[in-house]
Amino acid sequence: MRDRLFTIMEDNGVEYEDNVLVTEIDSIQYMSLMVEIEEEFEIEFPDMFLGENIFENFDRLCEIVFGLVGEVA
């Protein structure tokens, strides 16, 4: 699952170095990434994540997505 998530980020031009985001993400790209991840993993991000930059740290992003996948399962 981690590899699928990394591929989504990479395919959208998002780069990480030592798990830290090194690419600027604008608000449109942010929302596009959220929607693509939601569709890929069949989850829905709660509104509380709209104000947080969940893409800033890849480990944190994985933790959030895997937690939501676990809730759905």
Site of tokens 């069949």: 42
Written as tens digits, the pLDDT of the chain (73 aa) is 899 999 999 999 999 999 999 989 998 999 999 999 999 999 999 998 887 889 999 999 999 999 999 865 4
Q: Which domains does the chain have, with CATH numbers?
A: 2-72 (1.10.1200)
Task: For residue 22, give every residue at least 6 positions away whose Cβ sits within 8 Å of its Cβ, in sequence order, or none.
Answer: 15, 16
Residue 69 CA to residue 18 CA, distance in Å, equals: 24
Task: For residue 40, give every residue at least 6 positions away whose Cβ sits within 8 Å of its Cβ, in sequence order, or none.
Answer: 4, 5, 8
